């Protein structure tokens, strides 16, 4: 938020990408696919409005030629969206975290993370430092990014062992 609002920050890296953990799940019984996604027009879609999940939904609908102004976007946090999707109150729900597992019991992603990434839709956390800090401590910034990359790679290779490494790094061991 600060970087996009003109704070004196430098982007020094991407901490982690979590595209697989931030998706919109369409009910399987809806028979709506990417090819006929315009059928979402006039239907209710749950999304946490105003965050990156909402942004991804808007970009996805635009890519699929769906008129977002004709979709009934309902403000719901992911857990509430999962309940609404399972009950059939909405045809699609967007969310992240554990709510996605519950959503997947009745549906599948309208677009997979790989499909979204291929068209430039992604979610990630960035690492920023102030301009002054970057100028005064370039070696520290580089080392921090090395450690972050090592932790991410360890987690990708073996999530259970990677979590242990991340805990050790956070504890300064």
Domain of 38: which CATH number? 3.40.190.10
Question: Does residue 8 sit in the same domain as residue 46?
Answer: no
* Closest among 49, 24, 20 to 34, alpha carbons compared: 24
Q: 56 and 138: one domain?
A: no
In whole angstroms, how far apart are CA 84 and each of 46, 114, 125, 168? 8, 26, 28, 39
Share of the chain above pLDDT 90, in %: 62
Q: Which of 140, 138, 137, 136 is nearest to 148 (CA)?
A: 140
- The reply to whether 130 and 67 lie within a common domain is no
Residues 163 and 138 in one domain: yes
In this predicted model, what pLDDT tens digit does every residue of 109-154 receive, in sequence order? 999 999 999 998 988 888 899 989 999 999 999 999 998 888 778 8
Indicate the number of domains in the chain. Answer: 2
Residues 101 and 39 in one domain: yes
pLDDT in tens, 50-69: 988 999 999 999 999 999 99
User: 68 and 127 share a domain?
Assistant: no
Residues spanned by the domain of 93: 19-118
Do 48 and 111 belong to one domain? yes
**Same-domain status, 63 and 139:** no
Side-chain-side CA neighbours of 98 within 13 Å: the count stands at 2
């Amino acid at each position: 938020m600060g970087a996009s609002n003109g704070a004196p920050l430098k982007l020094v890296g991407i901490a982690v990408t979590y595209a697989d953990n931030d998706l919109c799940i369409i009910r399987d019984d809806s028979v709506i696919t990417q090819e006929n996604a315009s059928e979402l027009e006039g239907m209710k879609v749950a999304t946490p409005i105003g965050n990156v999940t909402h942004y991804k939904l808007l970009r996805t609908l635009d890519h699929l030629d769906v008129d977002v102004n004709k979709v009934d976007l309902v403000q719901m946090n992911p857990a509430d969206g999962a309940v609404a999707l399972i009950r059939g109150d909405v045809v699609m729900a967007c969310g992240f975290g554990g709510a996605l597992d519950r959503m997947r019991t009745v549906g599948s992603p309208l677009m997979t993370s790989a499909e979204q990434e291929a068209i430039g839709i992604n979610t990630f956390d960035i690492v920023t430092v102030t301009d002054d800090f970057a100028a005064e401590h370039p070696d520290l910034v580089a080392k921090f990014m090395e450690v972050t990359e090592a932790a991410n790679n360890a987690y990708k290779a073996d999530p259970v062992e990677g979590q242990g490494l991340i805990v050790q790094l956070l504890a300064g061991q």
